[in-house]
């Protein structure tokens, strides 16, 4: 299959047949359908330069290399070289996986659990019992099944996907927006499982956040008029596997992360240029507020229905 972030035409508009051909912003006499992936302006081949992600106009390239005002991506984020956030997330996930191998109980203590008791007559554990941190800590821990089990395959796939998709998204969105998409997707996936999954089942893994990045890449690719077939295939295959093996895979987490990642990125990508940063921040806070409200309502429902049970 085609991995997202590879072999995709960058900044290429698709004419509908009736569109008036745009012209280069520096050479008005030259028609071009190609645009800079950072500022979105159309430019002819003489005014474009190959970059780590797609093609950029000469002014954006010059701005990124100068010591002046920080350049902005096409979605309003601050342009930054490298993929520091992506590799930091990979490092945190791998480190906690190793810690979990040495101390498997951390998965029980930090995993996604709705509302249950680990032992008959024991204290009630879970999100509805006030352990809200489980919604985010569970997204950084795979199932504790050792190097030869499901946990190793889970972190192997998730980190591969993060390395493939993350750097491109980080450069296109900017670091702050990329972190927002990742964490909101992780929370959205966790809350979806909390809402729809059995409250007594423990769930672990970064799949909600990873599916959120899949959704984010789809939105970004559509916005930049790139080929989305590769990411659609990846999303489709993984959703099918999630539903086939629903007894061992938290499909709710996958779907929730996918939806939140796509919606958050859409708010970033299609924000109006006027007061764009304010709009994007407000949209992210609104999405976070909705996630919190759903979690609180679900917790209230569980405690009212099950709180008196032993």
Residue 110 to residues 58, 139, 278: CA-CA distances in angstroms? Answer: 48, 9, 34
Catalytic residue among 35, 254, 301, 304: 254
pTM exceeding the 0.85 threshold for the entire prediction: no
Count other Cβ atoms within 10 Å, centred on residue 148. 8
Which range in 10-24, 47-61, 251-265, 295-309 is most confidently predicted, on average pLDDT?
251-265
User: What is the reported pLDDT for 1?
Assistant: 35
**C-alpha dihedral sign at 140, 146, 147, 149:** negative
CA 1 from centroid of its chain's CA atoms: 20
Burial label for 220, CB within 10 Å (0-12, 13-18, 19+), is buried
Comparing CA positions, the residue from 148, 136, 139 lying closest to residue 101 is: 148
pLDDT band at 14 (very low <50, low <70, confident <90, very high): very low
Terminus-to-terminus CA distance in the chain, angstroms? 50
Q: Which residue has the tokens 């990124």?
A: 64
Whether 203 contacts 269, CB under 8 Å: no
**Residue 184 exposure: Cα atoms within 13 Å on the Cβ side:** 28
Model confidence pLDDT, tens digit, residues 198-257: 999 999 999 999 999 999 999 999 998 888 888 899 899 888 888 887 777 889 999 999
Catalytic residue among 207, 242, 301, 304: 207
Q: What is the C-alpha separation between 306 and 304, in angstroms, rounded? A: 6
Under DSSP, is residue 81 helix (H, G, I), strand (E, B) or coil? coil
Q: Tell me the DSSP string of 271-282.
A: --STTHHHHHHH
pLDDT at 66 over 70: no
Name the least confident of 1-5, 58-62, 67-71, 154-158. Answer: 1-5
User: What is the reported pLDDT for 151?
Assistant: 64
- Check residue 116 and report its DSSP letter: E
Length of the chain: 310
Which distant-in-sequence residues (6+ apart) come within 8 Å of 264 by Cβ?
180, 181, 184, 185, 212, 216, 283, 284, 287
Tell me the domains of the chain and their CATH numbers.
1-71 (no CATH), 94-306 (1.20.1540.10)
Asked about 207 being catalytic, the answer comes back as yes
User: What is the reported pLDDT for 258?
Assistant: 96
Asked about 254 being catalytic, the answer comes back as yes
User: What is the reported pLDDT for 145?
Assistant: 58
User: What is the reported pLDDT for 218?
Assistant: 95
Token digits for 115?
A: 């509302």
Q: What is the C-alpha separation between 76 and 81, in angstroms, rounded? A: 15
């Amino acid at each position: 299959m085609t991995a997202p972030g590879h072999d995709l035409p960058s900044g290429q508009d698709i004419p509908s047949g009736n569109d008036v051909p745009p012209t280069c912003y520096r050479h008005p006499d030259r028609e071009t359908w190609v645009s800079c992936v950072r500022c979105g302006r159309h430019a002819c081949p003489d005014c474009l330069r190959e970059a780590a992600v797609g093609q950029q106009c000469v002014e954006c390239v010059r701005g990124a290399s100068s010591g002046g005002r920080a350049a902005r991506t096409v979605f309003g984020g601050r342009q930054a070289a490298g993929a520091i956030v992506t590799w930091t997330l990979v490092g945190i996930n791998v480190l906690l996986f190793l810690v979990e191998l040495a101390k498997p109980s951390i998965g029980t203590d930090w995993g996604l659990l709705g509302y249950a008791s680990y032992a008959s007559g024991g204290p009630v554990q879970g999100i509805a019992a006030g352990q809200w941190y489980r919604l985010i800590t569970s997204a950084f821990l795979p199932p504790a099944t050792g190097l030869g089990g499901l946990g190793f395959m889970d972190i192997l796939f998730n980190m591969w996907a993060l390395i493939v998709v993350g750097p491109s998204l980080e450069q296109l969105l900017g670091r702050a927006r990329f972190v927002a998409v990742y964490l909101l997707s992780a929370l959205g996936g966790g809350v979806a499982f909390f809402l729809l999954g059995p409250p007594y089942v423990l769930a672990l893994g970064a799949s909600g956040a990873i599916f959120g990045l899949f959704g984010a890449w789809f939105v970004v690719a559509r916005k930049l008029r790139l080929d989305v077939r590769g990411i659609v295939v990846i999303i489709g295959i993984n959703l099918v596997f999630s539903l086939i093996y629903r007894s061992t895979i938290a499909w709710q987490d996958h779907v929730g992360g996918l939806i939140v990642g796509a919606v958050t990125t859409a708010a970033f990508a299609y924000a109006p240029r006027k007061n764009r940063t304010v709009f994007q921040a407000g949209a992210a806070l609104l999405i976070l507020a909705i996630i919190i409200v759903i979690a609180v309502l679900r917790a209230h429902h569980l405690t009212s229905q099950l709180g008196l049970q032993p």
